[in-house]
Chains A and B, each alone.
Chain A
Amino acid sequence: MSDMSDPLLQMKNLQRHYETPAGVVKALDGVSFEIHEGERVILLGPSGSGKTTLLNCLSALDSPTGGSYRFLGEEVPRNQSEKMTSFRRDNIGYVFQFFNLLQDLTVLENILLIQELAGKKDPARAKELLGLVGLDAEVDRFPGEISGGQQQRVAIARSIAKRPTLLLGDELTGNLDTETSNKVMEALVSACKQENITSVFVTHDEGLVRYATRVIRIDSGKIVSDEHLANDQEA
């Protein structure tokens, strides 16, 4: 575990520019921030503000066109597909808005698959994680047989199954009603605390701010505010 004084990740003057026939689009235009271990960060911003691009850069799905992005003190690979994949495999968990569970695999198998692909299959831990998100009774059911909220909780369990250092989510409650959203976020916060996972989520929903320890607001590719909240990191 790194010292609290050392950031988990650090972005300096990060840029992501796109060349288009209409000119250069600056999706990210000099973004700088640090995130420390254990933080639960929410990225807020209007459509087209650059928050999803930032999430893509954080997860090494996309390569910045300028600036620096260091993770645990090392520069994150860019423009190298397999190295970026490897970085994701070793460090990143990802939760999608539409869950994206594999419909042909049961709830448990969805988690085992990720473990297997990461080379550390552990059925006991997979079941433990499902218990953590409150789904011990659903292990042998197919995703199509459970509710949307339950599916998202499976997705969360799947994303932390390989013990990622950083968990990312893009509008992960965007497809759920308020009550279900709250249940999912509670499960997520609980899992992150228990597994000591740092998390960054993109959302439009201001209501989710109460689950975060920090809120970064972004607009036109720039950070417009960065606010540490009183929500107890340990609570």
Chain B
Amino acid sequence: MSALLNKRLARSLWRTKLRLLAVVLMVSVGVFAGITFGGYSHNLDGMYETLQGDDEEGANLADLWIDNRSASWTSEEVATFCGALGSSWPSTGAALDSCEGRSIVQGTMFHTNESGTHIINSLWHGIPEDANADKVWMPDEHSEGRVASSADEIVIDAHVVEALDLSLGDAVVIGAGTTSAEFTIVGIGYHPLHVFMAPEGSLFPPEAGQYVVGYLSDSGMARLTNTSLGSSNTLLLDVEGTPSFDLPDTEGYEGDEIDAVKALVSDALDVAELDGRVRDRGQNEPVEIMRQDLEGAKRTSIPFTVMIAAIASITIVLSLQRLVQSQAKEIAVLRTLGVNRTSLMTGYLIAPLVIGAIGCGLGALMGPWGVNGMLDFYEGIVGLPITEREVPLELYTAVMLPTMLVVFLSGAFPAWKSSRLDPLEVLSGQNQMRVGSSLLRRLTSWMPTTLGLSIRSSVRKPIRLMMTFLAVGISLMLFGSVQMMSAGLQDTIVGGLEEQQSWDAQVYIGEGGEASIIEWANERGATYEPLIEMPLGAVDDADGLERVFTLVGFDSYENGMRNVNVIEGERPQPSNGPSEVMMDEGSMVFLGWSVGEQHTVLLNGAEHDITVVGTTRGELVRTMYFLRADLGEALGVDATSMYLALPEGVTVDASLAEISMGVIERQTLIDGMNSLIEQQTQIFQAMMYLGLMFTIAVMFNTMIMNVAERDFELATLRVLGASTRSLGFMLLFESLLIGIIGGLVGVAFAYGGAVGLAASFSSWQFFVAIVVVPSVAYQLMAGVIVIAVAMTPIGIWRLRRMDLVEKVKDLSQ
């Protein structure tokens, strides 16, 4: 008996093949997305483990960095410091594996090709051949050659070799400040600090080939910079294992282990009489950003899967419930004939399981393809090789089991409803009787009756309508939140760079290097503006955690080449008391500061009082803005770079590169940002389109059900002489109404999603402010309304093909 009942249900479901297919596809897409994101983060995790590997042969990535970019330490100073640290190191606990000095300098590459010589902003590392920490990563089959050992050898970062058409054995001319030299490429590899090829102080990598990183030997660095061997501006510490450090994106504090090490380091710095900024992995932007990228990928997989499964589940609930409703008489007859409740329920419980199993199977089959696609995409964007690829069995289980559970639960309510139908009530037609809402009557009584009926019919099943809106909202959360966040980012960051800044090139200079740049500019009719920009600020937040930030000093915030977007307060003015500063919005949020407050901060390690007079927007990295005179006095530096506004026909040339520590062109920066935002958006674009598809499917399902459910009243009106046109207008109004409400709900969900996404991405290192770009909200609204209205012809088509003779028979039974 039960098998026949199930067969009956299967045939009924088969009659709605399109809806069945849509639900199966939704489930499969949910599983596919879960496996894709999960597999992606799993493989990325493995790659980072290898890249940042720490074994008996040394560590690719250090545990602590101590740097002072305004001065260099001699090899003797480094040795004294490391000696003092080693002698004070406790014999218990993790051992100090290494303490090494490094020179890391900004510079330029003079790259010559068929179109001439190009000046490329660069960063050069000096790494001894026998270094324990901070090594070049050269994975088998994904790198070439070996590390640099002699004074004329260089390893070029693999990110740029294709764009610059470089290969082993090529000679390259590079510079650092006023010196330059030729090196031979002996290796092509990667470095854990340069996963994302962004220049220091920026989170956006320029386009491929516009920023070069190279790894020289220590002797090569001495030759390039014309300094003595072992001269360093950075100290690297590697502790046995990886001591826990604070994760800036969590509320708790995990950094107790590294704090003990930091205390020892501070003491050793004092003993050696050295000034420097001490950073752990959580405070090192490139490392932290990639960790958060990985965390983001891990965190994303479950919500995306759950959201998609929820949409599928809502569709299943609505569809099965509609089926139960349409089969009410059949069920009542079966109950009258003695079929028990369990037998009836079984089918409705099995149906979603079968749908879920098919969907999960399809999703699981497509999963590895998605994982490989995402990893290929990652390799394409980030440029790092994924050395091993696998989709673990546990991932399939972790994604499919919750999906099956959600899908199964979605069948439970309709199944229960089917078993609770009262045969007498159904067969006497009493279940069709209901009393309309007096409130709705009062609210719509002033309208034409047709419109009033449309509204009342639309909200006749409030739970179903709410579930539809929920599903539309979730779909649009997928579709709109990324779009909203990207548009907001583009508007604030790129828009600010495009519209509020007038410089063409930023030229980095060494101490006292302004004069030659000014001379270059005067000779060519270019205007210039000196500025200070150094990542040497630090402050303890409310929890006592040290937060580092970039210090920026301009002569003017009103007439300068970089106009900062001040969203609250005033621009800094000269002051006899504490220096007036502006702080970026992200810092203000994280530190809990307000305009008008006074605070004490560390500028290159020294305490300094400031008054916050304004809040700015448009920076991804945490930034404090000073007047240059105030900042220069505190740091003992006059300028670290110059902005140049170039007249028409004047371009950055080799002579400028030779007198600078590096040059960045604004257009390169804008192109890089646009390119990155576009690439990042592409990652989610598949999700966005899926969201759109789901919106269409959910709206389609609801509209079809609405029309199907109203067969009774539409047929009555047709028999009584209502034209298809007038009924079409009723359906159109109903669609419009659902579209407008759905659109508003969708925009709200998309905004909520964007805020959630931004919150999950935002940290001290990377703050994303959500700015609602009205055009995106309008697009979302319009999209839902168009989808809803586009369903009207289907309703009209259904009306036209309605067999009134059959309907009259139904109406008379």
Contact = CB atoms under 8 A, between A and B. Distances in A.
Interface of A: 52, 56, 59, 61-62, 81-82, 85-86, 88-90, 92-94, 96-98, 100, 102-106, 109, 112-114, 116-118, 121, 140, 142-145, 158-159, 162, 170-171
B260 interface: no
A105 B811 contact: no
Contact of A104 (B436, B717, B718, B722): B436
Interface of B: 429, 432-437, 440-441, 445, 448-450, 452-453, 456-457, 460, 712-713, 716-724, 726, 800, 804-805, 808-809, 811-812
A156 to B, nearest CB: 12
Contacts of B805: 56, 61-62
B723 A113 contact: no
Contacts of B721: 85-86, 88-90, 92, 114, 117-118, 162
- Give the 5 A-B residue pairs with the shortest CB-CB distance, closest first: A89-B721, A144-B435, A104-B456, A88-B721, A117-B722
A164 B440 CA distance: 31
Nearest to A175: B429
The secondary-structure label for the interface of chain B is helix
B722 A142 contact: no
Given A92-B721, A96-B716, A112 B449 contact: yes
10 contacts: A52-B809, A85-B722, A86-B721, A104-B440, A104-B457, A109-B441, A121-B449, A142-B435, A144-B435, A158-B720
A52 to B, nearest CB: 8
B453 A114 contact: no
Nearest to A171: B812
Nearest to A151: B433
Contact of B452 (A61, A90, A109, A140): A109
B453 A104 contact: yes
Nearest to B727: A117
Contacts of B812: 52, 96-98, 170-171
Contacts of B449: 105, 109, 112-113, 116, 121
Nearest to A164: B721
- Which of A81, A104, A118, A158 has the most chain B CB atoms inside 10 A of its CB? A104
Contacts of A61: 719, 804-805, 808
Given A117-B450, A117-B722, A170 B808 contact: yes
Contacts of B713: 100, 102
Contacts of B441: 106, 109, 140, 142
Nearest to B722: A117
A229 B718 CA distance: 34
Contact of B720 (A56, A114, A170): A114
A94 B716 CA distance: 9
Most chain A CB neighbours (cut-off 10 Å) among B434, B456, B712, B805: B805
A96 B726 CA distance: 22
Contacts of A112: 449
Q: Which of B440, B713, B800 has the most CB of A within 10 A?
A: B713
A105 B800 contact: no
- Of the listed residues B435, B436, B437, B718, the one surrounded by the most CB atoms of chain A closer than 10 A to its CB is B436
B722 A106 contact: no
Contacts of A104: 436-437, 440, 453, 456-457, 460
B171 to A, nearest CB: 84
Contacts of B456: 104-105
B450 A113 contact: yes
Given A56-B808, A96-B716, A106 B800 contact: no
B476 to A, nearest CB: 29
A113 B453 contact: yes
A90 B722 CA distance: 10
Contacts of B435: 103, 142, 144-145
Nearest to B433: A144
Nearest to B726: A117
Contacts of A158: 720
Contacts of A118: 721
A158 B722 CA distance: 13
B448 A81 contact: no
Contacts of B712: 100
A96 to B, nearest CB: 5
Contact of A94 (B445, B460, B720): B720
Contact of A102 (B440, B716, B718): B716
A116 B720 contact: no
B723 A85 contact: yes
B719 A89 contact: no
B722 A103 contact: no
Contacts of A88: 719-721
B808 A105 contact: no
Nearest to B717: A117
B434 A159 contact: no
A98 B429 CA distance: 9
Given A61-B808, A100-B811, A170-B808, A116 B450 contact: yes
Contacts of B811: 96-98, 100
Most buried by A among B717, B718, B719, B809: B719
A145 B437 CA distance: 11
B720 A159 contact: yes
B707 to A, nearest CB: 15
A174 B472 CA distance: 45
B722 A89 contact: yes
A171 B811 CA distance: 11
Most buried by A among B434, B460, B812: B812
Contacts of A56: 805, 808
Nearest to A85: B723
A117 B451 CA distance: 11
B719 A94 contact: yes
Contacts of A96: 716, 719, 808, 811-812
Contacts of B808: 52, 56, 61, 96, 170
Nearest to A104: B456
Contact of A103 (B434, B448, B717, B800): B434
B515 to A, nearest CB: 84
B812 to A, nearest CB: 5
B795 to A, nearest CB: 16
A66 to B, nearest CB: 17
A89 B808 CA distance: 16
Contacts of B804: 61-62
Given A89-B723, A90-B721, A98-B812, A105 B452 contact: yes
Given A62-B805, A96-B808, 11 more contacts: A61-B719, A61-B804, A61-B805, A85-B724, A94-B720, A96-B719, A104-B453, A109-B453, A114-B717, A114-B722, A117-B722
B458 to A, nearest CB: 10
A84 to B, nearest CB: 9
A144 B720 CA distance: 21
Contacts of B716: 96, 100, 102
A81 B721 CA distance: 11
Contacts of A85: 718, 721-724
Contacts of A92: 721
A102 B453 contact: yes
Contacts of B719: 59, 61, 88, 94, 96
Contacts of B457: 104
A145 B723 CA distance: 29
Q: Which of A89, A96, A105, A106 has the most CB of B within 10 A?
A: A105
B453 A105 contact: yes
A100 B433 CA distance: 10
A25 to B, nearest CB: 14
B723 A116 contact: no
A227 to B, nearest CB: 25
A97 B813 CA distance: 8
A142 B436 contact: yes
A59 B717 CA distance: 14
Contacts of A81: 724, 800
B431 to A, nearest CB: 12
A170 B720 CA distance: 13
Contact of B434 (A94, A114, A116, A144): A144
Contacts of A144: 433-436
